[in-house]
Structure 1
Amino acid sequence: MSKTIYSGWKALVLLVATCWVTSASADGFYVGAGAYRTDISIDDFDDNDYAPAAFVGYQFLDTNLLMLSGEVGYYDFGDYESNDNKAEGSAITLAGVAYLPLGPFFEIYAKAGIASAKIEVKDSGDRQDFDGEDGFGGIGVAFDILDTIDIYAEYLAFDTKLNSKLYGIGVRLDF
C-alpha cells in the first residue's frame, strides 16, 4: 500500500471520528449522484464523453456564514476511442467541501481533495496503465429544495494522466 493511499485512509478515519464528535451541531450525512460531461486531453488526443458520478458525505459544520463537509466519491472519466487510440479512467476521491450560503435557497461551494485514479490508455495496440493519487478540485452552485434536496451544477478538474475536466449536474439528498 503506497504512502499516499495510507495517508488518505488516515484522513478518512480522522474525518469519520470528527463527524461523530461534532454530530450535535451537524446536519448529517448526505448522498448524491450526477451526470457529467467529461473532457480529456492526453498527448495529441482530445475527446469528450458523458459519464456518471456518485458521492457520500458528512456535513460537520453548518452556520449561516459557512458550511464544511467531507466526502468520498466515485467519478467515471468516460470511454474514448479515435482511430487506434483508446482511453478510459475513473477515480475514487476523498475531498473537503466548503459552502457559502447566498440566501435561504442558494449556495456556492469549492471542493478539493485527492483522487485515486485508474487510467488505461491503448495507443496503436500498446496498452499502458496509469494508477496513482493526484489532486483534484472544483467549484459549484446548489439550489436547495425543502432543505433536504439540492440540485447542483459543478466543474471539477483532475490532475491525472488524462487531464480530465468534468462538468456536471445532479441531485444531493441530505439526511
Structure 2
Amino acid sequence: MKKQLFAVVVGAALALPMFAQAQSSYVGINAGRSELKLSGDLGSGKEDKTGYKAYAGYNFTQNFGLEAGYANFGKLKDRDAGTAVSMETSAFYLAGTATMPINPQFSAFAKAGVTQNRTKATVSGFGLRFSGKEDKTAAMFGIGAAYHVNQNVSVVAEYENFGKTYSENGAKLKASMLSAGVRYQF
C-alpha cells in the first residue's frame, strides 16, 4: 500500500505542471466512510471503515470531463467459528464525469468508469493460514455535489460504488465510499 500511495503522490507531483497549464484541470482529496461487504463461504459481514482518496481530473467542457484517482477502503476483519478473515482493499480508477451547474455556487455531478481493485486477503483458523492478493477489474459509478467557495476551491460530497473487489474461493467482497473533501481547480 505504501508503494501505491508513493506512486500516486509522485505521479501527481509530475502531472501537476501539466494540469496547471490547462484551464479546467483539478486535483482533490476526500475522506469518509467506506463500506466493505463480505459474503460467501468465508462468512458474511459488513464493516464501515475510514476511507480516503486522491484524484485529478480534466473538464473538456463545462459539462463533461475525465477523472483518475486512487482510493483506499481500509481493512475488513471478521471472526466466525474459529476462523479469522482479514481483507484490505484499494482501487485505481478512471471515469468519465458529467456535471450539471445548478447556480454559480452549486453543481451536481455523476461519474462512470472502470476500476482496478486490489485486495490482500488472509484467512486463518484450525492451524492453517492462507494469504493472497487478487486484482479485479470492475465497473464503478458515483454521484455527488460541489459547493464552489471561489473560482478555484470547491467543497465536494460524493458516493461511489467500486463493485466487486474480490471474488475467490467462494468469497465475494464489494466496496463503496461516502466521502467529502476539497477540490482545487487550476
TM category (shorter chain) comes to: 0.7 to 0.9
Q: Could you tell me which residue of structure 2 aligns to residue 6 of structure 1? A: none
**RMSD of aligned residue pairs (Cα, Å):** 1.9
Q: Between the two proteins, what is the percent identity of the paired residues? A: 30
Contact kept? 1:40, 1:47, Cα under 8 Å: yes
For residues 29-44 of structure 1, what are the structure 2 equivalents within 5 Å? 29-43=25-39, 44=44
Once structures 1 and 2 are overlaid, which stretch shifts more, 137-146 or 125-134? Answer: 125-134
TM-score normalized by structure 2? 0.75
Q: Could you tell me which residue of structure 1 aligns to residue 112 of structure 2? A: 112
Contact kept? 2:51, 2:177, Cα under 8 Å: no
Tell me if 1:143 matches 2:147.
Answer: yes
Contact kept? 1:70, 1:94, Cα under 8 Å: yes
Structure 2: gaps of 5 or more residues: 1-18, 167-172
- What is the rounded CA distance, in whole Å, between the counterparts of 2:138 and 2:68 in structure 1? 15
Q: Could you tell me which residue of structure 2 aligns to residue 169 of structure 1? A: 180
Partner residue of 1:156 out of 141, 160, 172: 160
- What is the rounded CA distance, in whole Å, between the counterparts of 2:23 and 2:75 in structure 1? 37
Partner residue of 2:72 out of 43, 55, 76: 76
- What is the rounded CA distance, in whole Å, between the counterparts of 2:123 and 2:104 in structure 1? 50
1:105-164, CA deviations, whole angstroms, 9 ceiling, x for partnerless residues?
101110111001111122223224221211100100110011211100000011122211
* Structure 2 SS opposite 1:31: strand
TM-score normalized by structure 1? 0.80
Once structures 1 and 2 are overlaid, which stretch shifts more, 92-101 or 126-135? Answer: 126-135
For 1:144, the aligned partner's letter is H
- What is the rounded CA distance, in whole Å, between the counterparts of 2:67 and 2:55 in structure 1? 7
Q: Could you tell me which residue of structure 1 aligns to residue 45 of structure 2? A: 45
Tell me how many residue pairs correspond in the alignment. 149
- What is the rounded CA distance, in whole Å, between the counterparts of 1:60 and 1:108 in structure 2? 17
* Structure 1 SS opposite 2:151: coil
